[in-house]
Structure 1
Amino acid sequence: MAKAPQSLHRARKAVGEALNPQGLTLVACSGGADSLALAAAAAWHHRRTTGPLADAKVGGVVVDHHLHPDSVEVSGRTVSQLKSLGLGPVRIYSADVDPESSLGPEAAARTGRYQAFRQAMTELGATRILLAHTADDQAEQVLLGLARGSGTRSLAGIPPARGPFRRPMLHLTRADTEAICRHHDLDWWEDPANSDPRYLRSKVRTQVLPYLERELTTSFRESLIRTAQIAAADADYLENQAKEVFPTLLEDPDPAGALRLKLKPLRAQPPAIRRRVLALAVAAAGGANPSFERLSAVEKLVTGSRSAGPVELAGYVTVHRGARGTSDYGKLVVVPPSG
């Protein structure tokens, strides 16, 4: 076998840090170069019998969305390659994707995929799943976040870890993963959807990013990745600050579960903290993460809108300002969904 590319050594190191050292970790593999390279790096640890990861086990989960006529063949070939690397157990799961979903095809596929991941974890007894997002995915995600105008957390891009999911390849490029696959003689699949401009991410990948690199600077992709690193650190700090402030503003909820925040000290908070406290209150009441527009409407109740509300939010949560002459005066009341 030819000399291993430097990217393989970096991938092995990062994957080793992401594995559960005492149990089963699953590699999510689509059959593309990124996820097969991830599987190859993980398999190296799976085969080791000494060292701090001697008890770590690595299996594979292949999700078939049934969106491509060759999906069954692709899934089967992927399973064969994962088994040839020595991974086990390896299973195929189907993802239910509603093509008419209001979420759009990309989001619907993602929802179905993560449901399949959680099913695989439960049935196989895994505690972690490794996902093969790369630096290229990160750059695309930051650009999409910028286009949506959805704030610091969106500009932070794809997190390296969230819950049981780990993304150890965010420092590697697609060129790196292809080099790893060639080294291991792995035959990766090129999903036609990845270059189909009907899908927003594909359009960013194949048209928008190349145009910006050509017209602005060839290092534009690296600049986006650096932006994600800076934004992630900023967002983490602000969110931690908001989590410390939130309980100091909160009064005991009533039996119905409504939350009450003291208006005056909430109004005195910097906007970046105030908005995050409000989002925490909505989540604590059982609501969905509010959009920028809805959150701005709630913030106006705090900063002096003539209207006292209510403001309706996704998840059937409502927010209003306590009326003068009532026990709720001077408070912002977050009401959970009824029933």
Structure 2
Amino acid sequence: MSKRDYYEVLGVSRSATEDELKKAYRRCAMKHHPDRNPGDAAAEAAFKECKEAYEVLSDGGKRRMYDQHGHAAFEHGMGGGNAGPGFGHGADMGDIFGDIFGNIFGGGGRGGPRRGADVGYVMELDLEDAVAGVEKRVELPTLAACDTCDGSGSEDGKRETCSTCAGRGQVRMQRGIFTMQQACPHCDGQGQIIAKPCKTCHGAGRVEDEKVLSVKVPAGVDTGDRIRLAGEGEAGPAGSPPGDLYVEVRVRPHAIFQRDGDDLHCEVPVRISQAALGDTVRVPTLGGEAEIRVPSETQTGKVFRLRDKGVKSVRSRGPGDLYCKIVVETPVNLTAEQREILEKFETTFTGENARRHSPKSSTFMDGVKGFWERMTS
């Protein structure tokens, strides 16, 4: 099956800016994320598709290649030093907003001593803390360096040359006419072995423990943003370097606001009388209260924009906006007096007078009448 156009996947034009790409990617990723669609293979495929599209289009060099050659730019080694989607520098989206859904575990493929495993931790935050920044205490189980042997794995701190590989860390294996070189299975490629293993950690150099850390979360983070704490992952085996800790942010749903990138959205309920006559309504913002002037004859769905009352994300230069959607609320639990007033008010809507005061209702009824006439003709 041929791949869909990356711009089509994200739902943006070919002239989309970096900010437009980022917003489109977040919408796409949040919609199809496996955590929100457990067991949905189609959503998982769509999630991978939008991630791949963003990795290419967010990288200037890869985007130019894609615009010129399409998907063929990343096939058969085309593009020289630029790797295909999911590899190379294009997959690194920054220190905070990185490859947020990628595999962050393990440390294979590196030269030198085998380092400890990276550790992932999901931190849930309220919207207010995510916007303002916060310092959080984190407790997590981990493998820590053994105190008895100071992480060396040796009871006396000494190591001996491995007799299997003679200290080279590599051995040769014969496979028919081929000779292959691989890491020594006896010393695990280290070239040395522990003669007297530590009795506490049994030569591993690390033990199960619980780590307590204080994590500073910068202001403006959003769901999926990732914070890297170098060297705070699992201790490496027998004194090798530790891995890293990756804290992934997950913002809890808010009772009032919905976040869309740097912008916030909320619904503002008003009474029928306020909408009809006009009024000044106080609305909440993350920085306190604000006022919006609701003009007379305002209908449900009218949106008011409050500039700079949104969120200043970790990557934006300034805050976004707050969009307040008016919802005209039908009164409930009416008293006898209120009901009488409304009944009297309703009697004033007759004939052409009703059409003049209720334009949407009149248009709807005209449409219904025309529909039935077409159906019966």
* TM-score for both structures, normalised by structure 2: 0.21
Instruction: Tell me which structure has the larger Cα radius of gyration.
Output: 2
Considering fraction of residues, name the structure with more helix: 1
Considering fraction of residues, name the structure with more strand: 2
* TM-score for both structures, normalised by structure 1: 0.23
